A and B are shown apart, each in its own frame.
Chain A
């Protein structure tokens, strides 16, 4: 009986501790990727100010390209209003990796591009399939994610970015 009381006490304490704490959100995992110039970038130390959108895409994924082309037209306004930076992580493997810079420049995208040819960052972020888009606040917490793209989703994402910019 004493043991049971002891157990209950500890249990209550443990729950109390857990309930009191302010829940901290998931942070960006640290993976070493290369950018389009071949420089090594640590994903946990992107060194960007303001909110960050991380969008996983591939040159063979039509909805991914639709998403990034749609945001492309809105991006200057988004940047002016919120200071957001978009990091487009290509999960193209060696087969299509060469086409990434062709597509990005051919479409005049102004995003930061990272290459994840063996899916290391994709795995660490828990991505099942592309497109998958994450929003990260100034403290590096992942505050929102969306695993799809349909026209209109860009407005929804922007509303989430605005919440951070307030």
Chain B
């Protein structure tokens, strides 16, 4: 019997080998493994785990054959590296699906990644660097009955966790339908018009049993909304508005208010100039498939933060801002302008100017005529873009980039960031507004055809708090040097120095060195030293990393 089975496998394997030659059997995927050996470092609050060593490993395999598709991800935490949800453990299948696709229908059963519109009603996605994966385990159908028309339907339970090598699902069931029409494709004679119109609409509903004795909880909670996207030559204007039904949850302290989210984006661009303006209004829009969960668990929707994603170490990692799902009104403007080459300022290669402004406020919550203790449990009223004067966040930044010669380029940047640490808490050492000014000089020099070097100098200067004391951890300075030999090697050293800490004993150097080897789609890096938590970019790739002291070895491979 065993031999028969083996024979079948061999024949099947050789058949697959054959089919790869003739027609579309296609296998893609990737591997990632991160190993850490960590030391105790009380000075920076880095601890040594009991096992001393930690390892995360992943392998994705995606197969398509004619109209069929299948995919899976094996994942392994023995135990998980620092910064990952501490319940992740074991080895097993973390994601898997099968499906069928042709020109007008696409069906998937299993783990589903999907986004409706801008994601404010529904978005399931994986971000491995954050340990985030909220896929829907269930079924999805996508129909394209007519050119320019897309209809999607999803049904499933979200991935909440990965324990003892198994997927753990959220309590509630999520159902959703979304439609989108490109009017230029549908209406005759409109196809060639420079005026382009796309309309869309979504409805999402979650079901979770009432688990409270003292409240009558809505078991089915819906979110619905519409969106529009207009383009005319160099202009574009897009907007989406969604409304949520009564959704008492641990996020909103079990109130019975409705929620809303609105997003408006405007853009103008031509050769050498780009401008964007954005506005957002969010109130009571946390939407999870388990009403009792918190932190980053089982969000059904995604509320994009309205600020620039910074990459310089001190700007990105010390005072970052994320959306407040409970409510915020936010605005953003950004301009990018390239001064033409062969002009006095532009020089031989042109010069790029970039300016960005973003701001977020708490929404106005009107309590006039509302008794917060009555049985309706509606505790305030609020409308779209009805904002208070309570500041959450403000970011003003400029940068100038100029390439002086084939070998040398320079970028100078300034950032002014104000963060309300009482609301968007990033540190335990500060109260109220944290005001910081950051300057960065980054220079690149190409030594010869294969060798190049980059240097960054960064300084963060914090303003005193309202009582005249040094706020948070005071001033910082950072130096980065990166030496690359194309295409295979790099070495980099970063030192972050907290020279302005009010506690002299905490004026620490965070020194970290990385050595890397890249061959085609294989990448091996070895790092050693102290790391702060945050978005960390080195040798060409950016990722989120937690605070630690020790050795990190990482291997990635795509195939």
Contacts and interface: CB of A to CB of B under 8 A. Distances in A.
Partners in one complex: yes
A81 interface: no
Given A99-B334, A152-B449, A147 B521 contact: yes
A125 B269 contact: no
What does DSSP make chain B's interface, helix, strand, loop or mixed? strand
**Most chain B CB neighbours (cut-off 10 Å) among A4, A22, A59:** A59
Nearest to B541: A129
A62 interface: yes
B83 interface: no
**Most chain A CB neighbours (cut-off 10 Å) among B21, B118, B306, B521:** B521
A39 B196 CA distance: 10
A118 B113 contact: yes
Interface residues of A, number: 69
Return the 3 tightest CB-CB contacts between A and B, nearest first. A152-B486, A102-B274, A106-B336
Contacts of A26: 26-28, 559
B523 A151 contact: no
Given A7-B7, A15-B14, A60-B311, 15 more contacts: A10-B11, A13-B14, A14-B10, A14-B13, A14-B14, A99-B308, A106-B273, A106-B352, A118-B114, A145-B558, A147-B521, A150-B490, A151-B484, A152-B449, A152-B484
A151 B60 contact: no
A161 to B, nearest CB: 14
Interface in B1-45: 3, 6-7, 10-11, 13-14, 17-18, 20-21, 24, 26-30, 32
Contacts of A166: none
A148 B487 contact: yes
27 contacts: A6-B7, A7-B3, A7-B7, A10-B11, A14-B13, A14-B14, A17-B18, A27-B26, A38-B196, A40-B150, A93-B302, A95-B305, A102-B267, A102-B275, A105-B269, A105-B270, A108-B272, A118-B114, A119-B113, A124-B28, A129-B129, A129-B542, A130-B542, A146-B518, A150-B486, A151-B452, A151-B486
Interface string A112-125: 00000111100111
Contacts of A131: 540-541
Contact of B336 (A13, A62, A102, A150): A102
A126 B29 contact: yes
Contact of B62 (A29, A146, A152, A156): A29
Contacts of B558: 125-128, 132, 145, 147
Interface in B96-118: 101, 113-115, 118
Interface in A1-58: 3-4, 6-7, 10-11, 13-15, 17-18, 21-22, 24, 26-27, 29-30, 37-40
**Most chain B CB neighbours (cut-off 10 Å) among A118, A129, A150:** A150
A78 interface: no
A106 B129 CA distance: 30
A107 B401 CA distance: 11
A99 B338 contact: no
Given A128-B32, A131-B541, A30 B64 contact: yes
Contacts of B21: 21-22, 24
A61 B540 CA distance: 8
B343 to A, nearest CB: 14
